Amino acid sequence: MEFNDSPEEAAWRTEVHDFLQKEFPREFRPGGPSGVRDEEASLFRGPNEGDPMKRWRTALSSRGWVAPAWPKEYGGAGLDTKKQFILNEEFAEFGAMNVGGFGVMMFGPTLIVHGTEDQKKEHLPGILDGTVQWCQGWSEPNAGSDVASVQTRAIRDGDDYVINGQKIWTTGAQLADKMYMLARTDPDAPKHRGISYFMLDMKAPGVTVRPLMTMAGSAIFNEVFFENVRVPVRNRLGEENRGWYIGTTTLDFERSSIGSAVGTRKQLESIIRFAKEHPELCPGSGKHATQVALADRWIEAMVARMMSYRVVSMQNAGLIPNHEASMCKLFTSEMAQRIAALGLKLTGMYGTVIGGSPKYAPSGRFGIGYIAAVSSTIAGGTSEIQRNIMAQRGLGLPRD
């Protein structure tokens, strides 16, 4: 593992930093005119997005940084693994959001690998220019962590498939134009072998989206119902009944956790600043206990960063992180919950106030942060799944 940048990498880091200083809209910076940092929603803003987001997308697009990992022939920047890592790290340090959402991060790269040239020409441009937003149709009520148990059916009918079933926890479905999804095309085959991968128009007849309100007051998740939805055969990605293996490609394109590791550390830094500004919240012996807890969390944040470095070092050497990525995800998500709990504990009853700007609970961020952190050990693969991967693939332990 190499911790220091080479001269070329240092120059690249400076280039990215200078770009952010110049181009990242002030409306999205802490304390900026908008006063709002809605990063989740920004992933799904489309052609009617506000002027600051348009300026940001244009600035990124001019350098191919909307999709920095994509090959140049498909509109990306063709960055190698280390340059991608440095770009992601600098963006996270600056608090800057990427654009494009699942289309850029997961579906687009999968399409580049498995799609036909006609499919690439049809779908990749809309992802890059923001005119088409994608959501992911994976989880179902009885197929969450075990995605291979999906029961949504796709039955061939001439030049179409007819899809019936339900997806759940579909992020951004109410704002998406299209969905990439898994559906079962052979109910008699072993569960991993009877699944196909489809591209579906969210405006097609028979598609119903029902938003789900989270504990944190967000409606970013949705239920999606399919009733005799017709999908052209040309919108199947890859071979029939081989969708599971294409789906694993999609999962392989999830990023290393450097962004979340840096973001979590910055969250901890804000708690430390708050504690210094309000020493009256930790009188007497409580001050020492708070200092110890903050120190423990700081050490964990540094460990999370080192784990991210391990993952990118493997990728840079041409290796494929497997249980190493699961270690990263598990540690970072559980650490995020501990940091959120510390912020709430520091503010006491004030931390449970959401809304307004009371002295010890500005904008209710500690309470909202604590509630929002609950999902971090569920989304992207539960902690139990990550531990199973680490045990089986990392330690060679049996499945049972």
Output the CA–CA distances (angstroms, integers) from residue 284 to 276, 280, 289, 361, in the order listed.
Answer: 15, 9, 10, 22
Amino acid at residue number 316: N
Q: Phi/psi at 48 (nearest 5 deg)?
A: -95, 15
Amino acid symbol at 278 = H
Crossing angle of helices 81-94 and 285-316, rounded to 10°: 150
Q: Compute the Cα dihedral for 355, 359, 365, 370 and give only its sign.
A: negative
Catalytic residue among 2, 227, 239, 254: 254
d(CA 187, CA 185): 6
What CA–CA distance (Å, rounded) separates 19 from 24? Answer: 8
Phi and psi (nearest 5°) for 135?
Answer: -125, 165
- Neighbouring-strand partners of residue 88: none
The secondary structure of 83-133 as a DSSP string is: HHHHHHHHHHHHTPPPSSHHIIIIIHHHHHHH--HHHHHHHHHHHHHTSS-
Q: For residue 197, give Cα distances in angstroms to 132, 184, 186, 219, 236.
A: 19, 9, 13, 26, 6
**Taken in order 121, 123, 127, 132, is the CA torsion positive or negative?**
positive
CB atoms within 10 A of CB 330: 23
Distance CA 43, CA 102 (A): 8
User: Angle CA(233)–CA(145)–CA(218) in degrees, nearest 5?
Assistant: 90
Residue in the block written with tokens 């998500």 = 333
Judged by DSSP in three states, 295 sits in helix
254 is annotated as an active-site residue:
yes
| Sign of the dihedral defined by the CA atoms of residues 397, 254, 39, 9, in that order | positive
Active site residues: 254
